[in-house]
Amino acid sequence: MTDQVNEKSDLEKSRDIISQLKEMHHYSKNNIEKLGEFWLLLDGGLKQKENAKKLEILLAHQSAFHDALESMISDYEIECNRIENEAS
């Protein structure tokens, strides 16, 4: 008997990518929250204004990444749904 390897379709591979992007999105949100906590501590409690400014820049970059990732996920899901509807 020959073992058949069940290859995933391109659509299934794309859905896997979306799933992984969603996981990254989740961790990205956690990073934003943690950076915000650090910023509050540096700016307020520790009075380290220079470090707080640097962290604010990191926070802005992380937020931009988070937003871009969210947009990518949405666009990719729409494309996968279109491909799936055309195949049915």
Give the Cα separation of 31 and 65 in Å (integer). 11
User: Using alpha carbons only, how large is the chain's radius of gyration in Å?
Assistant: 20
In this structure, are residues 87 and 10 in contact, taking their beta carbons and an 8 Å threshold? no
pLDDT surpasses 90 at 2 = no
Q: What is the largest CA-CA distance in the chain?
A: 72
* pLDDT per residue as tens digits for the range 4-25: 678 999 999 999 999 999 999 9
pTM: 0.85
Tokens matching residue 58: 């990191």
In this structure, are residues 79 and 10 in contact, taking their beta carbons and an 8 Å threshold? no
